[in-house]
Amino acid sequence: MGHLLPTTLAFFTPESGGSPNANEIDSLYKITLAIALVIFVLVEGALVYALVKFRSRKGAVAAQIRGNTRLEVGWTVAAAVILLALAIVTFAKLSAIQNPPNSGPAGDALAGESGLLYASDTPKLPPNGKSLNITVIGRQYIWQYVYPGANEPDGLGAPYSYQEMVVPTDTTITLNLVSEDVVHSWWIPELGGKFQAVPGYHNYTWMKILKPGIYRGQCAFLCGRGHARMTATVRAVPPAQFDAWLAYQKLLIAQANAAAHLARAKLGAEVGAGQVENP
Ligand SMILES: [Cu+2]
């Protein structure tokens, strides 16, 4: 196929380039499209040829043909062979789409370092079991990302962010998708397929980004009147920069919690603790 097909068809084919699963989906799509295009040209070509060649003419008498066993067996077998080939290519690529690989050598050391950083019950872990597991929470109308690193067993103190997910490059990221209200759909086209966030369920996907950069997406399931504003951004940065960002995020949250605690204590002293929510 060379370079011609990818460039010519880029507009019609899935976005890719961010993560290996997206690339595999894209190449599978292009292989199928190429085969379909060849068949389309052959079938339409034969149709146009027959229309022109055998058009009605004065005095011409149409040949009366009743069946052609060899031709009929031929196109039935050919169609079966094409379907089989597509099925084989699809299944050959499926595991690379579904199953995350290990982090690369330049990946983030935080991935899988402590128990909390393991993706505990996800069915799709990389072969060495180590990934940076981020919980993606869909809610009307914003995505929240909760990172490993809670300092309490109930998960409190975990760093989190909204809308923009920051991730380290060359690191296998597993995503645990949940929803707090209605069904949402996580989709960053360059980083893999769509996955729904359904209330009461966990859904899993993964990505591994080699190049630093910004990847944009959008909630892909109509989830209410604010759906159009429910965008998502993934910012991939080198691991050292990610570690610094995560530590800073944690610090900001600790500071905000301390400030809220002080404010509640002050209010409690003024109006009585019973009047303050979460004293
Ligand atoms: Cu949504």
How many angstroms separate the alpha carbon of residue 146 from the centre of ligand 1? 17
Residues in Cβ contact with 232 at an 8 Å cutoff, skipping those fewer than 6 apart = 143, 163, 164, 165, 186, 188, 216, 217, 218, 219
H helices present in 162-238, as ranges: none
CA of 165 to the centre of ligand 1 (A): 16
86 residue type, one letter: L
Q: What is the 25 CA–ligand 1 centroid distance (Å)?
A: 24
Q: Spell out the residues 6+ positions from residue 179 whose beta carbon is closer than 8 angstroms to its own.
A: 137, 138, 139, 197, 198, 199
Q: Are strands 184-186 and 172-179 parallel, antiparallel or unpaired?
A: unpaired
Asked if the model's pLDDT at residue 115 lies above 80, the reply is: no
Ligand 1 midpoint to CA 18 (Å): 22
Instruction: Evaluate if pTM is beyond 0.85.
Output: no
Q: Which residues contact 21 (CB under 8 A, 6 or more apart)?
A: 96, 97, 98, 100, 191, 192, 193, 205, 206, 207
Q: What's the 267 CA to ligand 1 centre distance in angstroms? A: 36
Q: How confident is the model at residue 276 (pLDDT cuts 50, 70, 90)?
A: low
Cis bond leading into 141, ω under 30°?
yes
Judge whether residue 54 has pLDDT over 70: yes
Q: Phi/psi of residue 153, each to 5°?
A: -60, -25
Residue 136: per-residue pLDDT: 94
CA distances (Å), origin 214, targets 21, 178, 191, 235: 17, 23, 11, 5
| Average pLDDT score over residue span 11-22 | 86
Q: Ligand 1 mean position to 98 CA, how many Å?
A: 23
Total Cβ atoms within 10 A of residue 75: 9
Longest dimension (CA), the chain: 107
Q: How far is the CA of 29 from the centre of ligand 1 (A)?
A: 27
% of the chain residues with pLDDT over 70: 87
Give the Å distance between the CA of 136 and the centre of ligand 1. Answer: 12
Ligand 1 centroid, distance to 182 Cα (angstroms): 8
Among the ranges given (71-85, 92-106, 157-171), the one the predictor scored with the smallest mean pLDDT: 92-106
Contact present, 108 and 133 (Cβ < 8 Å): no
Separation of CA 198 and ligand 1 centre (Å): 10
223: CA distance to ligand 1 center in Å? Answer: 5
Tokens of 224: 């209410």
Q: Are strands 231-237 and 164-168 parallel, antiparallel or unpaired?
A: parallel
Does the structure show a pLDDT above 50 at 118?
Answer: no
pLDDT (0 to 100) of residue 120:
41
d(CA 226, CA 206): 26
227 alpha carbon to ligand 1 midpoint, in Å? 5
Highest mean pLDDT among 15-19, 109-113, 138-142: 138-142
Ligand 1 centre and the CA of 22: distance in Å?
A: 21
Check: CB of residue 8 under 8 Å from CB of residue 30: no
**How far apart, in Å, are the Cα atoms of 196 and each of 28, 163, 213?**
22, 17, 24
Query: Given this model, what pLDDT does residue 148 score?
Result: 86
Ligand 1 mean position to 183 CA, how many Å?
A: 7
Q: Ligand 1 centre and the CA of 177: distance in Å?
A: 12
Distance CA 78, CA 59 (A): 37
